[in-house]
Structure 1
């Protein structure tokens, strides 16, 4: 029996979708789903009247109308860390390709295809000096943004015998604790930028980070440094970077977000948004996104939400109904909910509440059924955003 309709947008790796049981229908053409799994396409939650939750198989959620979702009581998930290895796995080779002039060297080798075989070795030996490079070891790496990707990149720099500085404006202690002790975490971004031969960006796109890498940011960087962006394109002010490349203040710009102007510049190296494009990463993201979505639809549990507080509760075997109340984070809501239920003689087995400062989220377990009239009374409160009744037995 189908309980939940799931819409997929973009190619979602089957490793995750295979975890869904018979109670789900999965259809990319479903225009009125309960849940959505998406990668990079733009999604406006206004287009889906019965949507309960959306999981983005990736870290950033700038392709989703999150503010609208919050107002409608729609939970938005992402999958932090699921693609971290893939990004780090690409950033270091790209830095090495630039420092060692690998791209030019490969092009030179291809140009020897028409050279007589007995002359190839001589050509290589006489011209290889033009491609002499420098090593990553001994260089100073600056990592701006110490989320799961940034932490792994910083630790990877230490493993490559680099000196590493890191900065995060809103550090997570869980992530910071994973840093190798050799990484220097600075209190100001300037202190990371001024020390680094290579600056790598690992930040989400939001109002504070959009266009953050501007002329002032670049001026704080060490002259001759390399800038790397495998985070999000809009973080970087393209005109400011190109001007710094022209002036020589930046040696190079390595990016996963090609544009005509960037591609055309001789001091750039770009890839076509490949940071998370590995079989392993796509499988990890799919499994994590589906797990988050399933836990929410079945039990109202939340992990890795970007707009709701994280909260989990295991129901007792005697629980028949789980009531979810999503409300604006204002005083008196817990008292209001318990009073309404008490007035109707509803016995509460468990009441769990969490808030993120904007949204209050309540999981209330009940050993009986719950009449719709009680739910209607709760929803009449102007500070209640949405309710759900989950039948457990």
Structure 2
């Protein structure tokens, strides 16, 4: 029987798809392109409202692979309970590193050098001079040192920062130096001028950046969140921003989208970007290469890349 493959990109726009499967285009529309029960390989629509991507999962009784086009899998996890044992969930490692790391660097530079203030001053026709912090010589702590965290460090190094300090779930050694475990975070936070959060959202990281975490950060430090909004306790962050002790650059927020009138919009010292880390011109070619590679492996019964978990395991 010919397996169905659901793609959120029109199949005729993707070069190199392997022959064999019946390709169905579905990008979150109300009507399904075919019976979900026949789908063997499901590529989840990207950047859709909560609940869209998991909607067909309860009926996908034959699915063998669920492939996200995002680095995180938190938006898919609620639907996994509907799947049979043995379904592989794969993320999009290799797709978002460049774009997210670019934005992280832009947020750091814009915040330290006062770019939002310059834009507002330009609107008023005001020449706003004065000294600003440089990124050079700053101590940067990266919390969440996976492929995105490593890509962020790649872009920080040419800016002559002090040695980057890396933190992940468990300790290890990389070519650039040690990665500290999360248990050492309390001792590392007081030394950092810039704290970049790039962790996945899990039960272990939800609320990781809480009042205690923020209190340990040094006066005048910058918090940058390019992970997920719920990793940061918004109420605790607001208290630090409103006191003027910390500043923040947030590509993700909790709640998200940030509603009109939310206190974060007007909090002093905060720069908000609308979850813009991934959706750039770099996304589509990398996403298509990932899909082609994964489907070729699937058709040829070769090991898949980026397997995060297997249901029932």
When normalised by structure 1's length, the TM-score is: 0.66
Residues 147, 15 of structure 1: alpha-carbon distance in 2 compared, 3 angstrom cutoff:
farther
Q: Once the 2 structures are TM-superposed, how far is the Cα of residue 7 of structure 1 from its aligned partner?
A: 1.7
CA contact (8 A) 1:37 1:290 kept: no
Farther-moved stretch of structure 1 (298-307 vs 269-278):
298-307
Rounded to whole Å, the distance in 2 between the matches of 1:72 and 1:40 is: 27
Query: Aligned equivalents of 1:91 and 1:62: distance in 2?
Result: 21
Checking the alignment, whether the CA contact within 8 Å between 1:79 and 1:288 is kept in structure 2 is: yes
Residues 1:212 and 2:205 aligned together? no
Instruction: Identify unmatched segments of 5+ residues in structure 2.
Output: 27-32
1:19 aligns with 2:16: yes
Match of 1:278 in 2: 280
RMSD: 2.6
Whether the 8 Å contact between 1:80 and 1:304 is mirrored in structure 2 is yes
Contact 2:209-2:233 at 8 Å conserved across structures: yes
The answer to whether the 8 A contact 1:16-1:287 is kept is: no
**Structure of greater relative contact order (alpha carbons < 8 Å, 6+ residues apart):** 2
- The Cα offsets for residues 33-76 of structure 1, whole Å up to 9 and x where unpaired, read as 22111224433322322222110012110111364267532211
Question: Counterparts of 1:203 and 1:77 in 2: how far apart (Å)?
Answer: 17
Please say if residues 77 and 304 of structure 1, whose CA atoms lie closer than 8 Å, have aligned partners that are also in contact: yes
Say how many residue pairs are matched.
Answer: 287
1:214-233 equivalences in 2 (<5 Å): 214-233=210-229
List alignment gaps of at least 5 residues for structure 1: 113-123, 309-325, 329-358, 360-393
Aligned to 1:47: 59
SS at 1:307 equivalent = strand
TM-superposed deviation, 1:153: 1.6
Counterparts of 2:302 and 2:59, CA distance in 1: 22
Partner of 1:177: 174
Residue pair 1:142, 1:200 contacting (<8 A) in 2 also: yes
Moved over 4 A (4+): 13-16
State the partner residue of 2:40: 34
State which structure, 1 or 2, has the greater radius of gyration over its C-alpha atoms: 1
Q: 2:99 aligns with which of 86, 94, 104?
A: 86
Residues 95/194 of structure 1: CA separation in 2 closer, same or farther (3 Å cut): same
The SS at the match of 2:248 is strand
The residue number in structure 1 matching 2:249 is 254
